[in-house]
Amino acid sequence: MNQVAERGPREIDVVRSQFANMNDQFKAALPAHIPVERFARVVMTAIQNKPELLSAPRKDLFNAAMKAAQDGLLPDGREGALVLRGSVK
C-alpha cells in the first residue's frame, strides 16, 4: 500500500480543515475590510512558515487567530505574528 495513504492526513491539512470549519466565526470577528479568505490564507501561511506552531494546543492556536481577527490584524509577520510562548508538550 502507498506509504502516504497509510500515514493519514498531514497535520497541516488537519489544521487547515479545522480552521475552515471556523470561517464563520472568524468572519464575524474580522473588520469588513479583511475578507475571511485572505485571513485564512495568511494564518495558514504563518503556520506553514513556522511548523512548530503545530505543536501548540489547538485551542491556543485558534484563540490566537481569533484574537488577531478581533483586533483586525493579519498574522503575516508585519502587522502581527503567531508566536509560541512557554513550554509546549
For the stretch 44-68, pLDDT in tens is: 999 999 999 999 999 999 999 999 9
Q: Which three cell numbers stand for residue 79?
A: 502587522
DSSP state of 79: S
> Residue 8 above 80 pLDDT?
no
Mean model confidence pLDDT for the chain: 88
More confidently predicted of 8 and 49: 49
For residues 80 and 5, what is the distance between their CA atoms, to the nearest angstrom?
36
Q: What is the pLDDT at residue 79?
A: 86
Where would I find the beta strands (DSSP E) of 1-89?
none
Cα 14 to Cα 19: distance, rounded to the nearest angstrom: 9
